[in-house]
Amino acid sequence: MLAARRGWSVLLALPLEQVRRIWVRLEEMRRAIETRRILARLDEQTLADIGVTRAEVLEEIRRMPWDTKPRR
């Protein structure tokens, strides 16, 4: 636990704007992970309703969390 605390203390030495950008980026990655989990659970009818194929879903859920730029 002490090592984890020491790791987060690095953020205290950074300018506030840089910490904010890091936080925004981490939140963006968290949203990508959650959205991809939801997408993976959709059934075929729902995918058809939104115009997405299962192959597109598989391609999307294989992306890394930091890969958040739109593909289309």
Q: Could you give the CA distance from residue 29 to residue 4 in angstroms, rounded to a whole number?
A: 20
Span 8-16, average pLDDT: 76
Q: Could you give the CA distance from residue 16 to residue 3 in angstroms, rounded to a whole number?
A: 23
Whole-number pLDDT of residue 12: 73
Q: Where are the domains of the chain?
A: 2-61
Q: Could you give the CA distance from residue 61 to residue 41 in angstroms, rounded to a whole number?
A: 11
The pLDDT-based confidence of 29 (bands split at 50, 70, 90) is very high
Span 27-37, average pLDDT: 96
CA dihedral angle for residue 40, residue 45, residue 49, residue 55, rounded to 10 degrees: 50
Q: Indicate if the pLDDT at residue 57 is higher than 80.
A: yes
Q: Indicate if the pLDDT at residue 4 is higher than 80.
A: no
> 62 — phi, psi (to 5°)?
-85, -10
Mean pLDDT over the full length of the chain: 88
